[in-house]
Structure 1
Amino acid sequence: MGYEPNGKHLIAGEWVSGRTTFRSQPVTGEGTGFCEGGPDEVDRAARAAEDAFAAYGWTGRATRATFLETIAEEIDARGDDITRLGSSETGLPEARLQAERGRTVGQLRLFADHIRDGAYLDRRHDAAMPDRQPLPRPDLKMVQRPVGPVAVFGASNFPLAFSTAGGDTASALAAGCPVIVKGHPAHPATGEIVADAISAAIARCGMPPGTFSLVQGTGHDLGGALVRHPLITAVGFTGSLGAGRALFDLCAARPVPIPFFGELGSVNPVFVMPAALARRGADLGAGWAGSLTMGVGQFCTNPGIVVAPEGPGLDAFEKAAVDALMPLEACAMLTDGIAAAFRHGAAEVGSVKGVQDLLGRSSAHRNAAPALYKVDAETWLANDVLAEEVFGPLGILVVASGPDHMLHVARSLQGQLTATLQMDDADTDIARPFVPVLERKAGRILVNGFPTGVEVADAMVHGGPYPASTNFGATSVGTLAIRRFLRPVCYQNVASPLLPDDLRP
């Protein structure tokens, strides 16, 4: 029969019931009751995490690496059930969920290899100079150390890669920090079975039970209680700008403020240079349409804005995009709330004077049909609503008079996760001024591609200036993500027996 959810919280190795429940709202099948967490569950999980940190924070890198690999094994062992539950809850195709599971376990294994290597610790040693004049120098050793218990908020659009055992959890555990996950109510059963896998890995590896907990719930009070708890030392979040900013403000308002690593999304502009547009406008239009509608547009790197110069090449781009989007049927979105927000956003865009609706289609209920709009650059610059993310398959074609006009649009942008240049060799001189502008606007700059694929690798940056993320010096994807949950500590004249293992000879 396979795994059936128990609807409870996982706190320090025990499945715990709550006083109230909420019901899941799957795309297919009947909903299931899940316990609603609150301050009591948060406090229990946080205390267990603090107790676990006394041991887990001082485990060796090889031990933690084996633990991460064991989590990956346990997730794979539940692969069929994870796919079944995830597809039912989210409506995502089975192939997509299988690929996302591969990404999730691959990330855990990559992080295991990375911490075994040890280079991420940035170890430094200034040897003592007792005879230095006019003053001697003490012996100084520095290493990165884990910060303590970390709160992680699961994402709606990635039930595996950005949720229970996703990037934030994996990087915090790799750093040596216990984790408390607030499960996303869009996929509580998927969150529970992944938590079960982590719990099994904890038992197999002999880790402290409080190393990981999952608390489920729908209300804002649960999230607020989690980020305000005095034992939480950092927060990882992937979600909307409104929710992320509210939690960010709570973290800053604490008696002891803590870092909030929020990835909040963006419109991910694509700038099409003149020669590329003239030579392959139709191909670019079709390619953009495919990227725009991938996963019903529910990616934080969805390329929602295209900026291009007017002319025949743009006409070919537009026709190809319309031809690609028009036959596509409306598809189910992750939640009713996301679908309603998409309809609201599309209506706001369409109501701006000067905006042309190129498809003339509408969405209803939990479904979303692609939406495509066209506007001149001056109107786009004059209406801030057009620069706001609409989560879903909505694109805006911004028509500029030429490259200088396009550069003006680039300078007006807020922080983005990505920015893309579509160009040919003949566009090099025209494109060159865009690079210093876009590198101040985005965490990742692409040439001749589309941003919806985020490679899990050492060099990847998934973050950017606000409002794309709340910490422009961090990434939530790639091995650099581990550094978010570490802080440098200097040890002066400390004898070897008292040093962390990573600083001993």
Structure 2
Amino acid sequence: MTAHTFQATNPATGQPLAPAFKVTTPGELEALVTAAKDAARGFAASSPQQRADFLNAAAAGIEARADAFIEAAMQETGLPEARLRGEVGRTANQLRLFARVAADGSWVDARIDHGDPARKPAKPDVRSMRVPLGPVAVFGASNFPLAFSVAGGDTASALAAGCPVVVKAHPAHPATSELAAAAIAGAAAQVGLSAGVFGIVYEEGYELGVQLVGHPDIHAVGFTGSRRGGLAIVAAAQAREVPIPVYAEMSSVNPSVFTAAALEANGAALAKGLAASISGSGGQLCTQPGLLFVPVGEAGDAFLKDVAAKLDATPACTLLTGGILNAYQSGAAGHLKAAGVQPLTQGARPEQGAQPQLLGVPIAAFTPDLADEVFGPLSVAVRYDRVAEVTPVLAGLEGQLTATLHATDAELDGLADVLHVMGQRAGRLVLNGFPTGVEVGDAMVHGGPFPATSDGGRSTSVGSLAIERFARLRAYQDFPDRALPPELQDANPRGIWRLVDGERTR
């Protein structure tokens, strides 16, 4: 029987790319999940340092393949070399961040309440910590072939927690995915871990993804992509006999509010920064500022004219896939048909690919449909007379990854209502900056109320807190010291921070 294969497509030329990739069979997927299940106990019991060594070795493997990554990803995604070279660095840095988190070990949040047998009734000895969930499924993202894909933050955080990972490679960039998989598998072998701690599945469709989510030995899912895809995965996970958590980052238009004073003080620089934020990476970033609130009047008019001119001067973008290009053009056309909407840029030039677009609409004509995400380099500018008009519109938006305010320092006290509503609607608030560019660190939050994320903003997919998604709490009551995990033993052999009888101590 001939193996079923598929090929990626060069989005710039529409031509298939060699080589052809073998589609994983259902039997092979079953074997990968079984291997992950078999590896789970030993991996959960591995030392923090071994996990750290694993992730550090994976980071080094990514860097060693940097040129090959960039060559493959440029062909498969159409993204420019500078963007992809930065993504190689970000991916390696994420792996090293979670290596540090794993080595430190304090993320388990160990808590000890010593017992008191003399108390009436006797007080039990109770100790708790986070423990790994077990095998995790991760879906590669189309717009980040490295940083949110095979070796991305979902994989890194799950591995740091001690969870084996089975990745479904994104069909648009299998060669890039194969390189990342080789780096991770090689790192596992280098530090003596079972091959079952990592596996990868290839297919051009979604059937195996559904099978993976429904497998009883998969205990959580990480996903970055469209709302449609994310909700389908959530539905599949909830339809299981035992539902599992899905951490899906889905859609966001990332509203930005500009005050007249901010534009008068710094309009030229803001126009330059905003145009770059709208069009960078073809507008294919989950934090792209797709909804703008700009005051009427001379300052707002001049600002939008400047932004539009910069977008018109920006070369058309090659989007990640033909399907994404079609959806972009359809979404832009739909927005342009809405009552009161006017094009501020020259508009779509299909023969040149995805041309950045800026649309304008009076706030009185704004409807919720204009806040639907159009994935690509398009933004809608809503013109308002008074900032007070903006607050109820913000309050009516769906959940967002980010919300941005551009204002002078003297205005901030008077904008408390705007900031309050932004805080309710978004996971990250930005002041006098641009939401694109998500810094990887301990404090970063890349999540938000539904539908920005499927869990309502209780977690983040970027930063060290992402590890908490792939663990659960477990308590031990009245266990002898020798039978406890090292993190809960009296001597604290791993030297982690713990909460002991209400006091944080190391």
Give the structure-2-normalised TM-score: 0.94
Of 457, 474, 484 in structure 2, the residue corresponding to residue 499 of structure 1 is 484
Question: Which secondary structure state, in structure 2, belongs to the residue aligned with residue 48 of structure 1?
Answer: helix
Q: In structure 1, what is the Cα distance between the partners aligned to 2:231 and 2:275?
A: 30
Q: Which residue of 2 aligns with 1:357?
A: 343
Is 2:449 the partner of 1:490?
no
Q: Which residue of 2 aligns with 1:110?
A: 97
Q: Which residue of 2 aligns with 1:298?
A: 284
Question: Which secondary structure state, in structure 1, belongs to the residue aligned with residue 475 of structure 2?
Answer: strand
- TM-aligned CA distance change 1:159 to 1:426, over 3 Å: same
Deviation at 1:427, TM superposition (A): 1.4
Q: Which residue of 2 aligns with 1:7?
A: none
Letter in 2 for 1:349: H
Q: In structure 2, what is the Cα distance between the partners aligned to 1:226 and 1:348?
A: 35
Of 182, 195, 203 in structure 1, the residue corresponding to residue 168 of structure 2 is 182
Is 2:141 the partner of 1:132?
no
Is 2:342 the partner of 1:338?
no
Post-superposition CA distance 1:32-84 (Å, at most 9, x none) = 31122353232111111000102111101111011100111111111111111
Q: For 1:29-428, what aligned pairs fall within 5 Å after superposition? A: 31-32=17-18, 33-133=20-120, 135-364=121-350, 367-380=353-366, 383-428=367-412
Task: Please say which of residues 200-209 and 20-29 is displaced more in the overlay.
Answer: 20-29
Is 2:466 the partner of 1:481?
yes
Q: In structure 1, what is the Cα distance between the partners aligned to 2:393 and 2:24?
A: 45
Post-superposition CA distance 1:180-220 (Å, at most 9, x none) = 00000111100001101111111111111110001011212
- TM-aligned CA distance change 1:214 to 1:353, over 3 Å: same
- Cα contact 1:127–1:138 (8 A) shared by 2: yes
Runs of 4+ in 1 over 6 A off after TM superposition: none
Deviation at 1:163, TM superposition (A): 0.2
Q: In structure 2, what is the Cα distance between the partners aligned to 1:139 and 1:103?
A: 43
% of aligned pairs identical? 46
Post-superposition CA distance 1:304-352 (Å, at most 9, x none) = 1111221111011111111111112212111111111101110110111
Letter in 2 for 1:418: T
Question: Which secondary structure state, in structure 2, belongs to the residue aligned with residue 404 of structure 1?
Answer: helix
Question: Which secondary structure state, in structure 1, belongs to the residue aligned with residue 199 of structure 2?
Answer: strand
- Cα contact 1:285–1:316 (8 A) shared by 2: no
Letter in 1 for 2:208: L
Q: In structure 2, what is the Cα distance between the partners aligned to 1:367 and 1:142?
A: 55
Question: Which secondary structure state, in structure 1, belongs to the residue aligned with residue 424 of structure 2?
Answer: coil
Deviation at 1:502, TM superposition (A): 2.1
Q: In structure 2, what is the Cα distance between the partners aligned to 1:89 and 1:153?
A: 17
Q: In structure 1, what is the Cα distance between the partners aligned to 2:468 and 2:46?
A: 17
Q: In structure 2, what is the Cα distance between the partners aligned to 1:72 and 1:422?
A: 37
Post-superposition CA distance 1:254-292 (Å, at most 9, x none) = 110000000002000001123112322333223211110
Q: In structure 2, what is the Cα distance between the partners aligned to 1:500 and 1:177?
A: 17
Deviation at 1:361, TM superposition (A): 2.3
Post-superposition CA distance 1:393-437 (Å, at most 9, x none) = 001100112111011221111100000000112211332211221
Question: Which secondary structure state, in structure 2, belongs to the residue aligned with residue 40 of structure 1?
Answer: helix
- TM-aligned CA distance change 1:274 to 1:18, over 3 Å: farther
Q: In structure 2, what is the Cα distance between the partners aligned to 1:371 and 1:52?
A: 50
Task: Please say which of residues 234-243 and 70-79 is displaced more in the overlay.
Answer: 70-79
RMSD: 1.5
Q: In structure 2, what is the Cα distance between the partners aligned to 1:187 and 1:255?
A: 33
Task: Please say which of residues 323-332 and 474-483 is displaced more in the overlay.
Answer: 323-332
- Cα contact 1:252–1:258 (8 A) shared by 2: yes
Query: Number of aligned pairs?
Result: 486
Consecutive unaligned residues of structure 1, counting only runs of 5 or more, are 1-16
Q: In structure 2, what is the Cα distance between the partners aligned to 1:384 and 1:433?
A: 21
Consecutive unaligned residues of structure 2, counting only runs of 5 or more, are 492-506
Post-superposition CA distance 1:423-470 (Å, at most 9, x none) = 112211332211221111000000000000100000000000000001
Q: Which residue of 2 aligns with 1:434?
A: 418
Q: In structure 2, what is the Cα distance between the partners aligned to 1:363 and 1:178?
A: 46
Q: In structure 2, what is the Cα distance between the partners aligned to 1:255 and 1:414?
A: 30
Task: Please say which of residues 115-124 and 233-242 is displaced more in the overlay.
Answer: 115-124
Q: In structure 1, what is the Cα distance between the partners aligned to 2:408 and 2:108?
A: 41
Letter in 1 for 2:468: R
Give the structure-1-normalised TM-score: 0.94
- Cα contact 2:111–2:488 (8 A) shared by 1: no
Letter in 2 for 1:335: T
Letter in 1 for 2:94: Q
Q: In structure 2, what is the Cα distance between the partners aligned to 1:63 and 1:344?
A: 49
Deviation at 1:367, TM superposition (A): 2.4
Q: Which residue of 1 aligns with 2:495?
A: none
